[in-house]
Amino acid sequence: MTNIAKGLEGVLFTESKLTFINGSEGILTHLGIPIQEWAEKSSFEELSLALLDGELPTAAELAHFDAELRANRAIPQQLIDIIQHMPRGVHPMQALRTAVSYLGLLDPQAEEVTPEARRAIAIRMIAQFSTIIAAINRAQEGQDIIAPRADLTHAGNYLYMLLGKEPTAEQARLFDIALVLHADHGMNASTFTAIATSSTLSDMYSCITSAIGALKGPLHGGANEAVMDMLDEVGNPEQAEAYITKKLDNKEKIMGVGHRVYKYFDPRSRVLRDYAEVVANKEGKSNYYQILETIERVVVERIGSKGIYPNVDFYSGTVYSDLGIRKEYFTPIFALARISGWCASVIEYSRDNRLLRPDAVYSGATDAHYVEIKDRQ
Ligand SMILES: CC(=O)SCCNC(=O)CCNC(=O)[C@H](O)C(C)(C)COP(=O)(O)OP(=O)(O)OC[C@H]1O[C@@H](n2cnc3c(N)ncnc32)[C@H](O)[C@@H]1OP(=O)(O)O
Ligand SMILES: O=C([O-])CC(=O)C(=O)O
């Protein structure tokens, strides 16, 4: 019998120098450097450049890249108009998908697929994603759109454009760490989708628009919002154990746990848990964390033996909501970070491109003949 790799599990289709994951031990590295070190010592700007170029930048290279990001933050007025006229109540991921596709119409370089053009477009997209997402958020809430500021960090500027006031240094750094943790993750579904699109020699905006669509689903990036829905449904920590036990007894999926590659704790979930605990220790903020702690304990006890542990989406939402971000924007924030990994992976793959085209075992009818429509039952 032919062996089918359902879900493409374990299928190796390319080489990459960007990200390494050891799922059984819960290890994640970018360029060989552990994710914990990136989170502690680096910034989203530095990791983005390192992924694009495949090496740690010098101070001068990073300063140049940072200046390029700051200079490219503004988005065209035509796109602002589109965002302002989007129907109210759409999911922000729908809005983001449309906005990025439209941005491509306004970029005279959009159709260029040379490595230089792809890199230049990537830098603009990394810079502009935060402006687009903050603009969608404010427009959907009937608020004025706030122009980016060039004197703030990437993370600080996003929070400023979203909330209309400068974040504290602590808030900006916490958000920066969240972006670092989400920036890249090997051949996940959305990165693979971006690469599949790029393998046809399509343009960067098409690659990224397809990736946004893939990230949106609740089995992938959409899980962070679904975790928050679950927390709101549980309501208070006293209900958590009974709630999760019932779900597991009914063989229902728990959001924010389980992963195709990790069969142990996702290391990013450990970093985020520590920050979620800090948030919880603030007055009146402990409910979410206490519920998550209980869910984590019960899940690990009950189905840890199947390799089901918290993933990156489990604790991130509690950190975001403390920063004043609504749950519908958790997945767009994932995109705000993952844009770097998508672009870097597309650029890396396109250096030695080959059309992606897997196959299926045919299991349909054979020896059939066309039946005239009038003769069909
Ligand atoms: C950023 C990211 O994309 S991280 C992932 C975000 N997604 C989520 O948090 C959604 C919840 N998790 C899931 O749905 C899954 O774990 C996925 C989609 C992430 C990975 O799925 P797969 O690798 O296909 O695992 P698969 O579905 O084969 O599950 C293996 C076993 O674990 C169980 N399992 C997997 N995830 C869960 C879960 N979240 N809750 C309960 N049981 C689970 C399955 O029921 C299955 O059990 P069985 O062998 O007794 O039938
Ligand atoms: O790698 C995956 O399958 C999912 C993902 O994007 C992540 O965990 O960050």
Tokens 């705000």 label which residue?
A: 336
Predicted pLDDT at 282: 82
What digits encode the pLDDT tens for the residues 243-298?
999 999 999 999 999 999 999 999 999 999 999 999 888 867 769 999 999 999 99
Averaged confidence pLDDT in the chain: 97
Tell me the CA–centroid distance for residue 152 and ligand 2, in Å.
29
Q: What is the CA radius of gyration of the chain?
A: 22
Tell me the CA–centroid distance for residue 31 and ligand 1, in Å.
28
Q: What average pLDDT score do residues 353-368 get?
A: 97
Predicted pLDDT at 281: 87
Q: Whose CA is nearest to atom 6 of ligand 2?
A: 188
**Which residues are part of the catalytic machinery?**
220, 259, 313
Q: Whose CA is nearest to atom 3 of ligand 2?
A: 188
> Is it the case that residue 1 has pLDDT exceeding 80?
no
Residues 223-322, CATH architecture:
Orthogonal Bundle (1.10)
Q: What average pLDDT score do residues 146-174 get?
A: 97
| Residue 266 CA, closest ligand 2 atom number | 8
ipTM, 2 dp = 0.99
Q: What average pLDDT score do residues 307-318 get?
A: 96
Predicted pLDDT at 247: 97
> Is it the case that residue 301 has pLDDT exceeding 90?
yes
pTM, two decimal places: 0.97
Q: How confident is the model at residue 344 (pLDDT cuts 50, 70, 90)?
A: very high
Triad 111, 206, 180: Cα angle to 5°: 110
**Could you please report the per-residue DSSP string of 236-300?**
SHHHHHHHHHHHHHTTPPPTTB--SS-SS--HHHHHHHHHHHHHHTSTT-HHHHHHHHHHHHHHH
Spell out which residues line ligand 1, taking CB within 6 angstroms. 7, 188, 219-221, 223, 253-260, 303, 306, 308, 311-313
Of 39, 6, 5, 71, whose CA–CA distance to 273 is shortest?
39
Predicted pLDDT at 2: 84
Spell out which residues line ligand 2, taking CB within 6 angstroms. 185-186, 188, 260-261, 311-312
Sequence spans of domains, the chain: 17-217+330-350, 223-322
Q: How confident is the model at residue 334 (pLDDT cuts 50, 70, 90)?
A: very high
The larger pLDDT score, comparing residue 315 to residue 282, is at: 315
Q: How confident is the model at residue 336 (pLDDT cuts 50, 70, 90)?
A: very high
Predicted pLDDT at 271: 97
Q: Whose CA is nearest to atom 7 of ligand 2?
A: 185
The class of domain 17-217+330-350 in CATH terms is mainly alpha
Ligand nearest to the CA of 189: 2
What digits encode the pLDDT tens for the residues 6-52?
999 999 999 999 999 999 999 999 999 999 999 999 999 999 999 99
Q: How confident is the model at residue 64 (pLDDT cuts 50, 70, 90)?
A: very high
Query: Could you give the residue ranges of the DSSP H alpha helices within the chain?
Result: 35-41, 44-53, 59-71, 77-84, 92-106, 115-140, 154-163, 169-182, 189-198, 204-216, 223-234, 237-249, 267-280, 286-303, 313-322, 330-350
Both tokens of 235, joined, read: 């309501």
Tell me the CA–centroid distance for residue 76 and ligand 1, in Å.
41
